[in-house]
Structures are given as C-alpha cells and as structure tokens.
C-alpha cells in the first residue's frame, strides 16, 4: 500500500483539464481526492465517480468560487468535516481571458477577477488550509504558473494574468520559507503550451505524433504536468521547496506570444 494512502488532496479547478488529470495521477497513489469546480458540476461528479470506482479511493466534488473568501471557508470546512484532513493542496484554478487585449482595455471587473482568482485565492486557501497541515507537521502545496514566471517577464496582451502569476511565484517562495518548519513544502509547476484535449491526455497518447514546434518533438500532455505534481507530493520530496519548475519540453512559449 502507498505510504500516501492516508492522505487527502484538495485540487481546485479539477472537473476537467490539468486539474482532472492531476486528480487521477494522485488517486493512482492511493490519495483521497476532493475535486473543486465552479460551473462544471456534471463533469466534476463524473470525474469523482471515475476516480472512486477505478482506484478505490474516497472522492467527492464541491462547488466553490475560490476568489471569494466565504466560498473558500465553506470549501475547506466541508472537505475537513467529510475527509477529516487536508494534506495536499493543488491550486490549479484561475480565471483567464482568452481575448487578447492591452491592459488599458481591461475593465476593472476583469482585472479584479483575474487577480483575485489567481493570486488572492492563494492567500485565502493558505490561511484556511495551512493550520490543518500544521497539526500533522506535514503538507504539500503546489501552485501553477507559466514559463519563466519567476523572472517577471512581459506577456503581451496578458497583463493581468501575468501580474497575478508573477505575484503567486513570489508568494510561493515566501510561503515555502515560512512553512518549512511545519513540514510543509510549497512549489510551483509551470506548464508549457498544452492546449484543449491534450490537457487530459496521457504521454502514450502522443508518442509517435510529431510536433515540430517543440524541441522534444511531441506536444505536452496533462500527464507530463501531473507526474511532476505527484513527485512533489511524495514523502521523500521534502527537500524540494520554494522551487519553480517549468515543464515545457524546452519550448520558449512567451517569445511566440510577445512577437
């Protein structure tokens, strides 16, 4: 039996995409899973059933908007009351506006939505979850960024998102230092250019399918990201904290967008 079999993971934004693929990867290791969603109720419940039936772990889905403090409080309290603990927090959720526009074109509402959903929500969740982790002197938190986020690069037409994630990168490093004495590690994983259906795919699904835009010759998948997150959650990964880990296949994602 996995040494992580008594652990509980809360994964935000996990009804579909990278969050869903991460939930599946952690469930393979015997970790109980709490899926969080805002609108995708049916997808979240279907994923929860699949995880429980396939891997024999406990799983449930909870609706919550993590940009709202009251929602975060209810999410964490509900998780703790049912599961009894929270050991792993994967902060995958975060609003993103697909339309490309300059900062001056953003509305105040759009700006606040992106900042609150991607950055302030980390503060909310940390404040609620870390006290539960400290009780057991063990915890893992993983945030999600983008390539070279730790250098605070420019990202044309993505000002709000870039600002929020760069702030999250700094906060990730700070929390890692502050919580180290409590047995809690805090790291950030930065996916490359992984889009649409590829977010839920396995590596084997893209083997032999050429992608000339990536140095390694194939596109990235959700499994590529989930495997790194799973590794960071391992018992023996306790020496890895405050790290920003890019998983891009070597592709320079930002130069394409900033040209």
Give the DSSP letter string of 107-125: -HHHHHHHHIIIIIHHHHH
Helix, strand and coil in the chain, % to nearest 5? 50, 15, 35
- Residue 1 pLDDT more than 50? no
**Digit-coded pLDDT (tens) for 37-52:** 999 999 999 999 999 9
- Separation between Cα atoms, residue 35 and residue 42, nearest integer Å: 12
Give all domains of the chain, ordered by start, each with its CATH number.
8-258 (3.40.50.720)
pLDDT level of residue 226 (50, 70, 90 thresholds): very high
The tens digit of pLDDT for each residue in 102-138 reads 999 999 999 999 999 999 999 999 999 999 999 999 9
Q: Are 234 and 185 in contact (CB under 8 A)?
A: no
Please state, in angstroms and rounded to a whole number, the distance separating the CA atoms of residues 55 and 30.
7
Q: Which residue has the tokens 């037409």?
A: 157
Q: How confident is the model at residue 259 (pLDDT cuts 50, 70, 90)?
A: low
What percent of the chain clears pLDDT 90, i.e. is strictly above it?
90
As beta bridge partners, residue 63 has 37
Q: Which of 102, 192, 106 is nearest to 155 (CA)?
A: 102
What mean pLDDT is reported for the chain?
95
Query: Binning pLDDT at 50, 70 and 90, where does residue 6 land?
Result: confident
pLDDT at 255: 76
CA distances from 210 to 12, 219, 223, 250 (A): 32, 8, 18, 15
Per-residue DSSP letter, 68: S
Rounded CA separation 259/256 (Å):
6
H or E segment to which residue 25 belongs: helix 17-28
| 208 burial via Cβ count (<10 Å: 0-12, 13-18, 19+) | exposed
CB 171 within 8 A of CB 186: no
* Both tokens assigned to 118: 């991607």
| Cβ-Cβ contacts under 8 Å for 125 (sequence gap 6 or more) | 12, 66, 72, 76, 89, 91
Helix (H, G, I), strand (E, B) or coil at 245: strand
Report the distance separating Cα 141 and Cα 240, nearest Å: 11
Residue 5: pLDDT band (50, 70, 90) is low
Q: Report whether pLDDT(2) > 80.
A: no
124: Cβ contacts below 8 Å, ≥ 6 apart? 66, 69, 72
| Residue predicted with more confidence, 223 or 6 | 223
pLDDT of residue 220: 94
Stretch 218-239: mean pLDDT:
97
């Amino acid at each position: 039996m996995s040494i992580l079999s008594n652990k509980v993971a809360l994964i935000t934004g996990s009804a579909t995409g990278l969050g869903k693929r991460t939930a599946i990867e952690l469930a393979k290791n015997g970790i109980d899973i709490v899926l969080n969603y805002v609108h995708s109720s049916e997808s979240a419940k279907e994923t929860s059933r699949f995880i429980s039936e396939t891997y024999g772990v406990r799983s449930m889905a909870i609706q919550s908007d993590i940009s709202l403090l009251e929602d975060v409080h209810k999410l964490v309290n509900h998780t703790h009351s049912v599961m009894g603990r929270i050991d792993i927090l994967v902060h995958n959720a975060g609003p993103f506006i697909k339309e490309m526009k300059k900062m001056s074109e953003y509305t105040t509402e759009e700006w606040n939505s992106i900042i609150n959903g991607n950055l302030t929500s980390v503060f909310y969740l940390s404040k609620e979850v870390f006290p539960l982790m400290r009780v057991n002197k063990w915890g893992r938190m993983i945030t999600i960024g983008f390539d070279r986020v730790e250098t605070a690069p420019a990202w044309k037409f993505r000002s709000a998102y870039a600002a929020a994630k760069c702030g999250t990168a700094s906060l990730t490093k700070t929390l890692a230092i502050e919580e180290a004495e409590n047995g809690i590690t805090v790291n950030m994983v930065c996916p490359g250019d992984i889009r649409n259906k590829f977010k839920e795919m396995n590596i084997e699904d893209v083997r032999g399918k050429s992608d000339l835009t990536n140095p390694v010759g194939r596109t990235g998948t959700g499994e590529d990201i989930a495997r790194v997150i799973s590794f960071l959650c391992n018992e023996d990964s306790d020496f890895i904290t405050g790290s920003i880990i890019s998983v891009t296949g070597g592709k320079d994602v930002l130069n394409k967008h900033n040209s």
